[in-house]
Amino acid sequence: MSRNRGLKNKFPGIVTGASSGIGKGLACLLARKHKARLVINARNLEQLESTAAEVRSHGGECLIVQGDIAQEETRRKLIETCLGEFGGIDLLVNNAGFARPGRVTNLTTDVWRQVFEVNFFACLDAIYLALPQFSKQGYGKIVNISSVAGKVAFAGSVCYSASKFALTAMSNGMAAEFAPQNIDVITVCPGWVRTDFFEKNAVANAKNPTLIAKEISLRGLLMKHVLSISTENAVDEIEKALMKGGSREIIMTAPGKLAERLQGICPSLISAINRKIPVDYGETVAKDLAQTGR
């Protein structure tokens, strides 16, 4: 893979949090378009097996490493399996995520460490484990799934946002540092993505963007075309970025892009708005944005 080249056919790769949502959608898309050879991870074996079956039905190869990505043993096994079975690693997708919303005063430092272990340190460790192979073969691609909450923080989701801010900063810094080594880093900051996450986690129908987008109403149209993005569109954007080559940051959904721009141009306005938002709304936002799975 030369500089600025996209993905080659039958490339080997790793996708964490592949049991549902963006992780599952991306794994299936990469199999369909590139016949990818993938090692996938999550904690739920039944859902992983469903993803693996779909990947294979699309012409890809798929191996499962079940386990908690917060555990070093799981991360090491992912790398070793991909190298041992497929002979390399072209793509590392750090998609698994975890949220513990709530007021800062209601969270312990142990909870913060747990969230950071999944959302930040697991990604960092996986990258360190993959770097020797990337350096050896002279190329590599990393996709870090951050969040709009990693650009703008709200009361009630401070812990989750802090972990995603750290991931975003790490990704952007690595993109600059790894560029001479032909290692691309794609930083993805989704807003609301319409996935099966909401149904699986018993989110009330009135707050489920996937169901709201199906309504024949102004609210439904806004949710479908403005406020959220489908899983299919989200993974399409990621795959197109991978094919273009080079590192980049992708911010998804119109509200996410607007919030990010306002944060940069007029942070005092975002601060003023933030102070008006109820804490329980921020808690809901954190739950909704944490659509990736461990």
pLDDT in tens, 187-196: 999 877 766 5
Task: Please state the domain count of the chain.
Answer: 1
For residue 119, what are the domain limits? Answer: 12-289
pLDDT in tens, 167-212: 999 999 999 999 999 999 999 998 777 665 554 444 444 555 666 6
CATH number at residue 273: 3.40.50.720
The answer to whether position 133 is within a domain reads yes
The answer to whether position 22 is within a domain reads yes
Span 247-267, average pLDDT? 81
The answer to whether position 109 is within a domain reads yes
Catalytic positions are 160
Q: Which residue has 């975003």 as its token pair? A: 168
pTM of the model: 0.86
pLDDT at 283 over 80: no
The answer to whether position 30 is within a domain reads yes
pLDDT at 285 over 60: no
